[in-house]
Structure 1
Amino acid sequence: MPAHIVQLVARKGDQVLACYALEPGEYIIGRDPACPIVVPAEEISRRHARIIVTRDALEIEDTGSRYGTFIDGQQIVGRRRFSAEQRLEIGRTLIELTRPVTPPTAPAGTGEHSTASPAPNTSDRYEQGQSIKKGGMGEVLFAHDRHIQRAVALKVLLPEVAASPDNSRRFVQEALVLGQLEHPNIVPIYDLGTDPHGRTFYAMKYVRGTTLKEVLDGLKKGDTRLVARYPLAQLLIIFQKICDAVAYAHSRRTIHRDLKPANIMIGEYGEVLVMDWGLAKILSAPDTETTRPPHTDDAASAADLDATRHGTVMGTPNFMAPEQAEGRTGEMDERTDLYALGAILYTTLTLRPPIVGTSEEDLMTRLKAGQIPSPTVYNDPKKAAELAGAREPVVLLHCPGRKVPEALAAVAMHALARRPADRYQTVAELQRDLAAWQTGRATTAEQAGPIKLLQLAFRRHAATAIATALVLLLAIAFVTHVVVREKKLGTTLATLRRTAPVYFENARDLVAAKRLDDALEKINFATALQSDNAEFLHLKGDILQSLLNLSAARTAYEQAVRFGPQHPLLAENLALCDRLLGEIPAGQAHLPLHSMETLRVAIFKQGRAAEAEVLATRIATGQSQGLLAVQGALTRAGVKGTVIKDPRGLLRLDVSQTLLQNATPFRNLPITALNLTQTKIADLAPLATLPLQELQLTQTPATDLRPLRHLPLNALSLANTSVRDLRPLAEMPLVHLHLGGTPVTDLTPLRGLPLRTLHLNRTPIRSLAPLVGLPLRELRLDGCEQLTDLSHLAGCAQLEVLILPAKPRNIDFLRRLPLLKRIGYQYEIDPEKIPTAEAFWKNPSGAKK
């Protein structure tokens, strides 16, 4: 029976971008995280193509990608069948599809009943595939289990490691330990054996996903997709599952001894698995290990410090307990793992390990001395940058209010106590404190006082507390009016002012619950009681901004700046409010949809996911109405066109090759991409009211670009038009510009633009001086008959693809462009058909043929 599973590997050069095991079915492949197959490459569209896998065939269909889909170098249109032996590319990324070798079956027509072949032995049970990960002791391979037709992961002991009997014993022990630990959050093991090359291996569950380390690294870099998917609340759910696994292992008298984010796998569907039990120790077993002091190297890299070490003090320096670092194996017990759990929690909160050093020796000194700063130190981005020696402040976008909660900081520090007796004694104790915080109660680690306990109770029982507070306020007001005079009035007001933080916390909770109107009411109470509190005013500005009351938001931000130290996001939001207020069309009171999208993206990047979601709902409603409006405009214009929503929900309209002469019916519509190729449009004035980001005017009678000068265009095609004057483009955020076949002679207006693609083919230009310093990646100059001096291209250091004019002078300097990969005299849609720089320089004149 044939093996139906297909292995997909996406490569760019020597780099593996993605690896998937595909069963029969249909899969969308693209850059969008929502796709079943995600390939993070810049030239791949969000939803690039559809791959169809059947038991005996492979098919692919391009779904309207920007850079195309190619089989054996030929761009495809529609749905095409292909074989695994053919070369498949999406954009510039190579896609390899392979089927495991099918085990032989009994021949038909022998006159006997067909029977199953004897089960293969362990060595030929698994069809080995690509390498997934390589560590200090072993390599993890993708494999296919022929017995039960499923994908598995094989961990194979490296030959150089197997030479040590201790390492071989430890590898087998890891498999045996895993075999005894059956828990949903511990990677299950299926088999232990020897492969055809004589290497010891064990087979385990193959999990598609990412590691916790990769998630935390992405959050540190401000990856907006990860910020939305992994707020602190979700990370704590993951951490609780890690704790569940460790608690179960402890119940079986087993400690892990190498817990760290890199050893935590997060699956596509929320699975959390604790991996790599190579250093695990069964506490009831005799101690046969030997350790020696760690080798120190002042030039040790960060990667070295985060790697598991064997043969010295075993473990990972950034996450090991002091007793482990000092080689006191007799003192290692469950509390050693609790220290590591505290280190993981610390890293989850601050996006940094608890202990860092300039060298391994420095790190080990700090570790043994217990020199760990509290996570709350990182609540000040500038201080955090100084502490970490970073150039730029790292904002904790995943934390509520972009700050580490003090209670969770206390929990992490309790687990990280230097003395085992001062830590949590069991995982259950740690989990109880986490659960207390998650349900709004005080943790034992923070030692909360009466006021803190009152605030937490208020947040848990907000409705009752608010009603009680209102009654109390009314009573105080009555007593103040009737009985209390000047002195008592001051005392009462001071008492009221102390309740302001309660309203502030309640407002933050309501924002998280996406109840922005209610949140505004509560923050107004807080700012009325403490009108000079910068933190309260900052939150008020955020809420007003999300409710699109930009003028009031700007006022709140200005007051926050006046009364407190400037948070790095205050200036950003002030500028954003000013910019968006300027985008409201004259005579209108509402923000255009494209400006709302700008705001949504900005606040999403700031980690305000709940507010961004509220705004996204509002935008979606407007876009649905806009879609109907665009369809109505097509009817009024009397032309047929295609209008679609892109993956971001933005509207794209294609009326190319129609008799459209007037764009007036489309005024003020939420169209972000418009294709007018080969239409009769000459007057571009109606387009000035559109939020266009992409515009194609190829082969139209348009000549005057002035109506476009304020549009946020990043892609514009003027190919084969009579446009001469590029001055209206001077302030645009253009990234892609096609001017082929135009009478343009002056490129001066392009100075300073963020252009990455520029087509100047068949233009009468004479000088490329304005292009110096531009971030160009692709430049097309074929057919530029009056251009002979290319010396200015020496200032285009990021150039990757260059199409030369027919008679250039002195091009040897181009050899020094560090990134130039493709160079030739003839343009090709498929860049792979353009000669490589190496091939070109072997015969520059011959490349013209």
Structure 2
Amino acid sequence: METLNIVSELSTVDAKIDSGAQLLGLESRYKIIRLLAKGGMAYVFLAKDLKCQRYVALKMMHPKKGIAELDKQRFIEEVQITSQLDHPSIISIYDLCQGKNGEPFYAMKLVRGETLEEILKQVAANNEKYISQYPLRVLLQIFIKICDAITYAASKYIVHRDLKPDNIMIGQYGEVYVMDWGIAKVCTPWETKQLLRKQSIYDFEDSFVRTLREMSDTQSEATAYGQFLGTPMYMAPEQICADFEIDTRADIYALGVILYRIVYLSNPFSQSAIKNIFKEKLKGDLDFSKKTIFNSGCKRSSEILNSVIRKAMAVNLSERYQKTSDLKVDVDSWLHGYATVAEDASQIRLIKLLLSRHKNISLVLSLFFISLGSFCYQGYLNVNDIVIDKDFLELELNHKSMESKKRLIAKLKLEQELNEYRRHISGIKEQLATYNIDEANIKKVIELSEQLVILDPSSKNYQNLISLYITNKNYEKANDSLVYALASYPQDSELANLINNIK
């Protein structure tokens, strides 16, 4: 169903409204006001319910002669299916009627908003208003609501078969509606169990190739009817296999394509011809290397979302998500910093995610272990000093013995190394003084400052190094160095003030 372009269609709008009004008849409770949208099989009008005094959307088949009986049955079945799906993200049906010539039409809730397709196109066109209103986080929350609706439909053994952004309406107040259930399929519970036993579509490859010829004149983003049902860009590969009965996993594939559109604002297939698109679908090779994730402020790895998309769009049915709720959980997990099923996270990955979700706890734990390490090291130094003093006393008392001479030599070497160590620190400080802190020298200055902190971990040297990190916008290293510095100098206010400069 495409949104009406008022300017280009102005000359025919009145005629369509007149035809719709004639179809309703004079005694109808609905008064048509204007045309909202049109599709291949039906029009949608804004109308007023004269009995209830409310505005509704009125969908009716094209008022033309010779409408096929199958099309009428499919139209009526759409109403019956949709009206029995009682879910906040599935549009409410108010009434099913017949026009004066027997043509069916129905009234449904009027949604004031726009389609997800329109939103994605505006975001892709860098429309600042849409980018600020629909960052990736919000778009993924919309996607989760779509998954909720499809999960509910699957619980009623309904397969939508035509999921795409054009059939998702976003209301003015954030409502999400899955629309257009015109080619939905009703599966019996027994049939669904039988379908789930089929694990691969490769047994039907001959059927697949034969039906491709039927698709040559069909647009990749338009709903098609006939031997195959759905929109080629979003159809699962098994949907065009004549000998293969689809199940709810076909909707999961379409959701994977929608997720790809949301994340990358582009189509997952490079080809435009329908036959070539389905050849790409059968290969199942999705290339993410040249794609850029929609920048929205979500500081999460896009590689994990790629794993989710791959699993949703898997050609082999056994590798695809088996339930829409599983796909929803993975997307929600990614949003909130949890591991997804698709990524098969290791224990180290799980620990990292735990710490990233609880940054305050991880900082406290880091400071605790750093403090504990510093305490143990200081204790070791104190014990070592006592041992050195005792050895030196023995050396003085037994200086004539060979052992005493060896220890005396060792002490002299130690003093020599200490002097060399101090000269090395002085040399680094003198070298630092010769550099101007600018773009050309910043990396060399940071390298020397890092060496200086290792040799002389004083509060002042830490401050200088952290400031250099901040100047170079390396906030992660600045944060790590600040944690270590505060562990050694917790009362230093100048160090603490540097926290405000780390973004």
TM-score by length of 1: 0.40
Where relative contact order (Cα < 8 A, 6+ residues apart) is larger, the structure is: 2
1:201 corresponds to 2:105: yes
CA contact (8 A) 1:296 1:360 kept: no
- SS of the aligned residue for 2:211 comes to coil
1: distance between equivalents of 2:101 and 2:70? 21
2:51 alignment partner, one of 147, 159, 171: 147
Letter in 2 for 1:207: V
Letter in 2 for 1:457: L
1: distance between equivalents of 2:102 and 2:155? 35
1:336 corresponds to 2:240: no
**Structure 1 residue 530: deviation in Å?**
9.2
Letter in 1 for 2:360: A
- Given the superposition, is the C-alpha separation of residues 431 and 149 from structure 1 closer, same or farther in structure 2, using an over 3 Å criterion? same
CA contact (8 A) 2:252 2:324 kept: yes
Residue number in structure 1 paired with 2:120: 216
- Given the superposition, is the C-alpha separation of residues 176 and 409 from structure 1 closer, same or farther in structure 2, using an over 3 Å criterion? same
- Given the superposition, is the C-alpha separation of residues 172 and 11 from structure 1 closer, same or farther in structure 2, using an over 3 Å criterion? closer
CA contact (8 A) 1:355 1:371 kept: no
- Given the superposition, is the C-alpha separation of residues 415 and 437 from structure 1 closer, same or farther in structure 2, using an over 3 Å criterion? same
Residue number in structure 2 paired with 1:326: 241
**Structure 1 residue 280: deviation in Å?**
0.3
2: distance between equivalents of 1:245 and 1:525? 42
1:398 alignment partner, one of 290, 296, 301: 296
1:309 corresponds to 2:224: yes
Residue number in structure 2 paired with 1:131: 35
**Structure 1 residue 135: deviation in Å?**
1.1
2: distance between equivalents of 1:399 and 1:140? 38
Residue number in structure 1 paired with 2:286: 372
2: distance between equivalents of 1:186 and 1:241? 10
2:72 alignment partner, one of 168, 177, 180: 168
**Structure 1 residue 333: deviation in Å?**
0.5
How big is each residue's C-alpha offset from its partner over 1:357-405, in whole Å with a ceiling of 9 and x where there is no partner?
A: 131221121122223224x6413xxxxxxxxxxxxxxx7233626x862
- Given the superposition, is the C-alpha separation of residues 285 and 136 from structure 1 closer, same or farther in structure 2, using an over 3 Å criterion? farther
Letter in 1 for 2:222: A
TM-score by length of 2: 0.65
**Structure 1 residue 422: deviation in Å?**
1.0
How big is each residue's C-alpha offset from its partner over 1:556-577, in whole Å with a ceiling of 9 and x where there is no partner?
A: xxxxxxxxxxxxxxxxxxxxxx
2: distance between equivalents of 1:173 and 1:286? 21
1:409 corresponds to 2:306: yes
For 1:493-508, list aligned pairs within 5 A.
none
**Structure 1 residue 130: deviation in Å?**
1.7
1: distance between equivalents of 2:480 and 2:366? 17
- Given the superposition, is the C-alpha separation of residues 269 and 197 from structure 1 closer, same or farther in structure 2, using an over 3 Å criterion? farther
2:343 alignment partner, one of 443, 446, 453: 446
CA contact (8 A) 2:25 2:99 kept: no
1: distance between equivalents of 2:339 and 2:190? 41
Residue number in structure 2 paired with 1:293: 211
Letter in 2 for 1:378: K
How big is each residue's C-alpha offset from its partner over 1:737-780, in whole Å with a ceiling of 9 and x where there is no partner?
A: xxxxxxxxxxxxxxxxxxxxxxxxxxxxxxxxxxxxxxxxxxxx
CA contact (8 A) 2:136 2:295 kept: no
Residue number in structure 1 paired with 2:355: 458
Residue number in structure 1 paired with 2:162: 258
2: distance between equivalents of 1:12 and 1:160? 22
More helix by share: 2
- Given the superposition, is the C-alpha separation of residues 467 and 253 from structure 1 closer, same or farther in structure 2, using an over 3 Å criterion? same
Letter in 1 for 2:51: H
How big is each residue's C-alpha offset from its partner over 1:253-311, in whole Å with a ceiling of 9 and x where there is no partner?
A: 11101111110000001111000001101002999xx99824467787xxx21111111
Identity %: 36
CA contact (8 A) 1:123 1:193 kept: no
Structure 1 unpaired stretches of 5+:
1-9, 17-100, 102-119, 380-394, 487-492, 494-519, 532-551, 554-610, 612-849
1:190 corresponds to 2:94: yes
1: distance between equivalents of 2:189 and 2:367? 63
- Given the superposition, is the C-alpha separation of residues 12 and 315 from structure 1 closer, same or farther in structure 2, using an over 3 Å criterion? closer
1:526 corresponds to 2:476: yes
- SS of the aligned residue for 1:319 comes to coil
- SS of the aligned residue for 1:201 comes to strand
1: distance between equivalents of 2:74 and 2:323? 26
Letter in 2 for 1:433: D
**Structure 1 residue 355: deviation in Å?**
2.5
- Given the superposition, is the C-alpha separation of residues 14 and 339 from structure 1 closer, same or farther in structure 2, using an over 3 Å criterion? closer
For 1:620-631, list aligned pairs within 5 A.
none
Larger Rg: 2
- Given the superposition, is the C-alpha separation of residues 13 and 431 from structure 1 closer, same or farther in structure 2, using an over 3 Å criterion? closer
- Given the superposition, is the C-alpha separation of residues 460 and 529 from structure 1 closer, same or farther in structure 2, using an over 3 Å criterion? closer
Residue number in structure 2 paired with 1:419: 316
2: distance between equivalents of 1:335 and 1:297? 22
More strand by share: 1
- Given the superposition, is the C-alpha separation of residues 259 and 162 from structure 1 closer, same or farther in structure 2, using an over 3 Å criterion? farther
How big is each residue's C-alpha offset from its partner over 1:453-511, in whole Å with a ceiling of 9 and x where there is no partner?
A: 22211121111101111233344566678679x9xxxxxx9xxxxxxxxxxxxxxxxxx
Q: CA RMSD in A?
A: 3.9
- Given the superposition, is the C-alpha separation of residues 368 and 11 from structure 1 closer, same or farther in structure 2, using an over 3 Å criterion? closer
